[in-house]
Amino acid sequence: MTKTARASRKTAKVLPLRKATTLEMVRLCCPDAAMAEQIAEAFGLAVLDSDGIRDLHERMIVETADALSEGLGERAMQIHLQRIVGSYVGSAHGAGQFYSRAVTEAKDATSRLANDIRDEDLDGPVGFDSVAQRKREFAADMCLQSHALRMAAEGVVAAYEQVVGEKWKPFERAVEHPGQAVDRKAVELQMAAFG
């Protein structure tokens, strides 16, 4: 093969496909109400009103849609709500992943076998917690935060279905093939040459 033949070939560009975040993914990484309540009680934190958070966010989206209904057409409303719901679901998913990492770090710091820095499981100076205790408390805080965001996401997803009349699905952008438009134009020109 000659150099010119090699130079004229296009290199294949691999586009990473990003999986859209779904409510099911949020439910897998964010704790449910029972777990959030158990952790809140174990760490002496406030127990969240899970149903209240969910209901408030559902009402908020329904009322927002009612207020916008005269100014937005059906399709525009669907697109607008799609974006809002997607942001809530994405936020909850990010918080759930962060919570999972915090739990892993807390477990590692607490476990004597996995702990490379043995001082982390020792009590801190008088008046201070150990590093492991602080990591456990941080993970408990992240549990409540990710649970609250999960409930908010569940509320807006329910509102979307109520307003739009169909289940919410994450928006997935079509994979763009920039060279394809040029190829299509070339085909159209070639076919036009045949008359």
Instruction: Flag whether pLDDT at 1 surpasses 90.
Output: no
- Contact criterion met (CB below 8 Å) for 77 and 163: yes
Question: 9 phi and psi, to 5 degrees?
Answer: -70, 140
The residue ranges of every structural domain in the chain are 20-171
| Distance (Å, whole) CA 94 – CA 99 | 9
pLDDT, position 41: 93
Looking at residue 180, its pLDDT comes to 60
pTM: 0.73
The answer on pLDDT for 187 being more than 80 is no
Asked if the model's pLDDT at residue 19 lies above 80, the reply is no
pLDDT of residue 132: 84
Q: Which tokens hold the place of 168?
A: 């919410």
pLDDT of residue 171: 75
Find the mean pLDDT for residues 71-94.
Answer: 92
Nearest to 62 by CA among 77, 52, 48, 73: 77
Give residue-wise pLDDT tens across range 83-134: 999 999 999 999 999 999 999 988 888 876 555 555 555 555 555 567 888 8
Q: What is the DSSP letter of 118?
A: G
Confidence at residue 118, expressed as pLDDT on a 0 to 100 scale: 55
Burial of 137 (0-12, 13-18, 19+ CB in 10 A): middle
3-state secondary structure of 160: helix
Q: Which residues, including other chains, have CB under 8 Å from residue 14's CB and lie 6 or more apart?
A: none
- pLDDT value at 189 more than 60: yes
Higher-scoring residue by pLDDT: 126, 43: 43
Q: What is the mean pLDDT of residues 28-44?
A: 93
Give me the chain's average pLDDT, please: 82
| Interior angle at CA 130, CA 129 and CA 135, nearest 5 | 95
Share of the chain above pLDDT 90, in %: 53
Q: Quick check: 138 pLDDT over 80?
A: yes
pLDDT over threshold 80, residue 23: yes
Q: What are phi and psi of 84, to 5 degrees?
A: -65, -50
